Structure 1
Amino acid sequence: MGVLFDECARRGTATTVRLDRPFDIAPDGGSSYRVAELAELVRTAAGWLAAAGAGRGDRVVIVKENHWDYDLLACAAVRIGAVPAQLSAELSVAALEQLLKRLDAAVLVTTGALARRCAEQGLDLVSTARTALLLDGEAPGAVRLDDVRGRTAPAPRLRSDDEPLVINHTSGTTGVPKLVVHSTRTIIGQLARFESNPVPLIGVRRDDVVVNASSYAHGRTFCWTAVALSREPRELVVLSSHDPDHVDPVLRAYPPTIVEALPASYVRFRSLTERLDNPFRRVRLFISTYDAVHPPTIRAYLHASAHHRPLWMQGWGQTETGPLTFRFHTRRSSARGARSVGRPIPVKTRLRVVDPDTFAPVPRGTPGLVLARTAARCLDYEGEAERWAAKARGPWWNTGDIGVHHRDGHVSLLDREVDRTPRLSCLETEDVLEDRLPQAQECVVLGRPDDVPLPVVVTADGALPGGAWRRAVRGLPAMAEPVVLAWDRVPRTGTGKVRRALLLERLTGSTETPGSGQWT
């Protein structure tokens, strides 16, 4: 990954990269790049990091505003033999402080605005690493970018395929995220190389315009960066914002044929599908990862496409394992709205469902705790080796999800183990509610240990007619009266997932969950 952009430039990759705003590491560089220019930017950044004191095996923490230059900085760190740790600026200051202590970084790359925000909440961000490198502004004790400009990058430093390559954190929906350590073999050899194989219908072609709207601090985009460049599409369009009005003109200027986005971004951008000349009219493939996407959202995009047979590819996996299952939705299948995440990836993954208390295998069709077996399993949790060991059972990995492996091979997810309740499946109930409540941007059902589940309905204006709710819950298990909130009132992770534990605490004052939570 340290020489990825160099190799693509040497090969003559003709891809043009379009940005919705300039990079934070090159604010005067414009919003359009050729691959050779990106290669030069990575080499330049490698010189900055070396001048700041990063070397072989050192941790280089990157925490800044959301943009694809997270991955350019990570590649620069890899190039000099360091290990990049990408942390989302959307983390709470308390969580960020804990993760920084675990990492003990040689160099921290951040921005003046983030350093000020942390200082206002009691965290001296600059003091968390030997050297803090600010991309803009100033802070006491920090090194400015002007101080390290002009340093020639050292020659690329290779590492073993099994040494740590990159560190990414999990979403953190239930508390402080884990720091997941991957190697070249696990995240590149097992994941990116497999995904880069040409596949009919879903493979990237050279005439494609590929759009990504993601949280670039997460491991998925590090892998995507390798895959997208290797397939040489005509254009890569990078969206750093999740504001539909901001991304609309970019999407109209470069109408995509393939879109990959966070589930929360799909929800936010859904209003664009209803506009005249909607920007998704040329899309043949939509890709979603990270979290469940509910059927009404999937249907809206598939029907917005003018392609004769558009596909929605849904993947289920974890930062620790990469994708474990996948399935495709068509216009016809999305009408059924089943809570299936598809089948295990052939040759790559195996699944086993066990009793959560005894770990004895349960028959097909019976709910239980899902274990996965994959060669892409991460190496460790940085600073929490005992937590990693508690989830590893020989070659099997405890996903912490409750699901059903059906007789025909497909897998249905019911809930995270920490959220499970005998009264209902929170995820299935959310699907039903979103189907029945067209006003809802999102529905969240929170399990409680000694009470009926608490539903939360997210709408554009934070309001919901009483009659609509009564109609929506007909035939469903008992639930409390709903809490109705606007989107910005719901606590979220950097990937847009609802922080269920924090939301439950805010609404009820309690942090108790119905599940054990021992495998979060």
Structure 2
Amino acid sequence: MTARVIERTPSAVDQPLVIGSILQAGVRTAGEQEIIYADKKRMSYREMAERINRLASALNRAGVKEGDTVAVMDWDSHRYLECFFAIPMMGAVLHTINIRLSPEQVLYTINHAKDDVILVNREFLPLLDAIKDRIETVKTFILLDDGEGPESSSIQTVGEYEQLLAEAAPEYDFPLLDENTRATTFYTTGTTGLPKGVYFSHRQLVLHTFALRSATSGDGHGRFNQTDVYMPITPMFHVHAWGVPYLATLLGVKQVYPGRYLPEVLLKLLVTEKVTFSHCVPTIMQMLLASDAVKKVDLSKWKVIIGGSALPKPMAKAALDLGIDVFTGYGMSETCPVLTLSHLQPDMESWDNDRQADVRSLTGRPVPMVTLRIVDDNMNDVPHDGKSQGEVVVRAPWLTQGYLNDAENSENLWRGGWLHTGDIGVITEDGYLKITDRIKDVIKTGGEWISSLDLEGLVLQHPGVAECAVIGIPDAKWGERPLALVVKKPDADVTEDAIRELVAGYAEKGIISRYGVPEHITFVDSLPRTSVGKLDKKVMRAEHGG
């Protein structure tokens, strides 16, 4: 006997899971709640809803239609939040451009995504000026202007954002969308150096929001409820700021967007706006902890998810000693992103800070609806004993279904019917995941990916370099920084400064991100290799502290 599929009466409606429903919930429950952009703008949820209608009207007048791709280049702002809703609600695709990529990588993502429109902050006009002649599909540029940046540019815009909204209709007839309509896309970089496009549907974003709500609601530390004040310190171009703006809007909480991340601005907003919930990479937390001003303010009500790279136990302990409720979140661009959170179990909350830091710096336990396994090379599960290592593979309703226009890498990502994270980890007996290594030798510095293979190729351009291997080594500020191990050619005159200048030159040309320029360079007589002649980076990391 087969399972029984439900019967539907002819008049029944299967309500789709779409982003607009998140907005409606927030406006309905907290219409007068505030949304703030640094010291530049304050508005209510109800005003934001009207501005979203006006933005859709303005984009429609600019020629945007269902299926088009609209890109955004901006700091974290109220404008970005409006784009999070208006663009997908129109049936268009929101492309959040990573402004930290090199100019060549930005150009690649614009052309690969086939952007039709770009909304660009004045500060990023020089970047577009440099690549404008090679942009293939963009027909329209819209200026986002905070009064900072160059006064002139070769980029011709159709108008400034606020001006266009003021002239647009305050109502917009959003289409009824299939919940599987693509809502967003953005690009992640890996070992190949070519960014890969990931994408998510309305349904996936809504389900991810619901899972976050379930994982962070209720009592206990690290919870996110309607009385909280939210400020992201993870760029909104990076996996929708981890999806938390959608959750914040669903809850109707006060939201604070800081613009460019400056320590004094972040601390001022934390205090004046009474921020209680944030998320950031370890680099930002380290920057704040190192600030003299942080010791003069009360941060005992601040809850912070740390992700992007590992949360070192000393950093967790230092934050806890200041009263900050810090804990780890884990995921990746392909997973929308949240897979795990390192919430303490109730009995652990009475532990001292040193003991708590051990758990809070673990990778965490799966959030609801995530199925997570640690497997060997044959996809067999390994014991959950805290020692047996394997690759982390996952399933969840919101994982990207592939890479944009990249069938080969898509199949590799999903081989065997599980999404392969490329991370190696263990699971403790009480269910906490701990990432111990990575399969691919990608370096994470300040939450950004740097390709070791790309760096090696550039260093090898020096005429005096015979061999080069790049590994990531721990760094208190950036999480990791690249270390270049260099074998000189016989009698060659090669200096550390010469190699840095070489790589910096490629960064200036946009070939590689400036974050890839290595401070650490070590000259060695030879590089260790495996039995089949491959570079043995495991040995290198053991020898050089990686």
TM-score > 0.5 by shorter chain: yes
Q: Quick one: distance in 2 between partners of 1:47 and 1:115?
A: 24
Name the SS of the counterpart of 2:195 in structure 1: coil
AA in 2 matched with 1:316 = Y
Q: For residues 44-83 of structure 1, what are the alpha-carbon distances to aligned partners after superposition, in whole Å with 9 as ceiling and x for unaligned?
A: 2112211111111111111233435223113111222211
Report the counterpart of residue 433 of structure 2 in structure 1: 411
Report the counterpart of residue 213 of structure 1 in structure 2: 233
Q: For residues 122-176 of structure 1, what are the alpha-carbon distances to aligned partners after superposition, in whole Å with 9 as ceiling and x for unaligned?
A: 4447654122223346545432235786233530112111121111333658733
Q: Quick one: distance in 2 between partners of 1:156 and 1:58?
A: 15
Q: 2:322 is matched with which residue: 288, 304, 309?
A: 304
1:157-196 map, 5 Å: 157-170=175-188, 175-189=193-207, 191-196=208-213
Q: 2:251 is matched with which residue: 223, 231, 245?
A: 231
Q: 1:252 is matched with which residue: 248, 271, 274?
A: 271
Report the counterpart of residue 470 of structure 1 in structure 2: none
Name the SS of the counterpart of 1:88 in structure 2: coil
Q: Quick one: distance in 2 between partners of 1:14 and 1:226?
A: 18
Q: For residues 192-222 of structure 1, what are the alpha-carbon distances to aligned partners after superposition, in whole Å with 9 as ceiling and x for unaligned?
A: 0122233222433333233321201122427
Q: Quick one: distance in 2 between partners of 1:107 and 1:192?
A: 27
Report the counterpart of residue 155 of structure 1 in structure 2: 173
Report the counterpart of residue 204 of structure 1 in structure 2: 224
Name the SS of the counterpart of 1:134 in structure 2: strand
- The answer on whether the counterparts of 2:129 and 2:154 sit within 8 Å (CA) in structure 1 is no
1:46-65 map, 5 Å: 46-65=56-75
**CA RMSD after TM alignment:** 4.1
Q: Quick one: distance in 2 between partners of 1:20 and 1:407?
A: 44
Q: Quick one: distance in 1 between partners of 2:173 and 2:536?
A: 53
1:290-301 map, 5 Å: 290-301=308-319
1:325 pairs with 2:343? no
1:351 pairs with 2:351? no
- The answer on whether the counterparts of 1:213 and 1:241 sit within 8 Å (CA) in structure 2 is no
1:380-391 map, 5 Å: 380-391=402-413
Taking a change above 3 Å as real, the CA distance of residues 244 and 345 of structure 1, as seen in their structure-2 partners, is same
Query: What displacement does 1:505 show?
Result: 10
Q: For residues 75-111 of structure 1, what are the alpha-carbon distances to aligned partners after superposition, in whole Å with 9 as ceiling and x for unaligned?
A: 1112222111111222211111111111112222213
Q: For residues 471-505 of structure 1, what are the alpha-carbon distances to aligned partners after superposition, in whole Å with 9 as ceiling and x for unaligned?
A: xxxxxxxxxxx99xxxxx999x9xxxx97993469
Q: For residues 355-396 of structure 1, what are the alpha-carbon distances to aligned partners after superposition, in whole Å with 9 as ceiling and x for unaligned?
A: 2xx555545432222211222211332222321111102431
Q: Quick one: distance in 1 between partners of 2:165 and 2:360?
A: 54
Q: For residues 215-243 of structure 1, what are the alpha-carbon distances to aligned partners after superposition, in whole Å with 9 as ceiling and x for unaligned?
A: 0112242721221122233x322222322
- The answer on whether the counterparts of 1:326 and 1:343 sit within 8 Å (CA) in structure 2 is yes
Query: What displacement does 1:32 show?
Result: 1.7
Name the SS of the counterpart of 2:308 in structure 1: coil
Taking a change above 3 Å as real, the CA distance of residues 32 and 401 of structure 1, as seen in their structure-2 partners, is same
Taking a change above 3 Å as real, the CA distance of residues 139 and 450 of structure 1, as seen in their structure-2 partners, is closer
- The answer on whether the counterparts of 1:56 and 1:81 sit within 8 Å (CA) in structure 2 is yes
- The answer on whether the counterparts of 2:393 and 2:418 sit within 8 Å (CA) in structure 1 is yes
Taking a change above 3 Å as real, the CA distance of residues 140 and 163 of structure 1, as seen in their structure-2 partners, is closer
1:267-286 map, 5 Å: 267-272=286-291, 275-283=294-302, 285-286=303-304
- The answer on whether the counterparts of 1:243 and 1:269 sit within 8 Å (CA) in structure 2 is no
AA in 2 matched with 1:101 = N
Taking a change above 3 Å as real, the CA distance of residues 124 and 84 of structure 1, as seen in their structure-2 partners, is same
1:405-444 map, 5 Å: 405-419=427-441
Q: Quick one: distance in 1 between partners of 2:429 and 2:504?
A: 38
Name the SS of the counterpart of 2:297 in structure 1: coil
Q: Quick one: distance in 2 between partners of 1:148 and 1:168?
A: 25
Q: Quick one: distance in 1 between partners of 2:537 and 2:406?
A: 22
Report the counterpart of residue 489 of structure 2 in structure 1: none
Q: Quick one: distance in 1 between partners of 2:523 and 2:64?
A: 44
- The answer on whether the counterparts of 1:169 and 1:178 sit within 8 Å (CA) in structure 2 is yes
Superposition TM-score, scaled by structure 2 size: 0.71
Name the SS of the counterpart of 1:418 in structure 2: coil
Q: Which runs of 5+ in 1 are unaligned?
A: 23-30, 421-425, 431-443, 461-481, 484-488
Q: Quick one: distance in 1 between partners of 2:334 and 2:58?
A: 30
Taking a change above 3 Å as real, the CA distance of residues 21 and 92 of structure 1, as seen in their structure-2 partners, is farther
Larger Rg: 2
Report the counterpart of residue 33 of structure 1 in structure 2: 43
- The answer on whether the counterparts of 1:272 and 1:278 sit within 8 Å (CA) in structure 2 is no
Q: Quick one: distance in 2 between partners of 1:176 and 1:5?
A: 35
Name the SS of the counterpart of 2:296 in structure 1: coil
Taking a change above 3 Å as real, the CA distance of residues 286 and 123 of structure 1, as seen in their structure-2 partners, is same
Taking a change above 3 Å as real, the CA distance of residues 397 and 299 of structure 1, as seen in their structure-2 partners, is same
Q: Which runs of 5+ in 2 are unaligned?
A: 1-18, 146-150, 457-466, 479-495, 498-502, 525-533, 539-546
Report the counterpart of residue 474 of structure 1 in structure 2: none
Report the counterpart of residue 243 of structure 1 in structure 2: 262
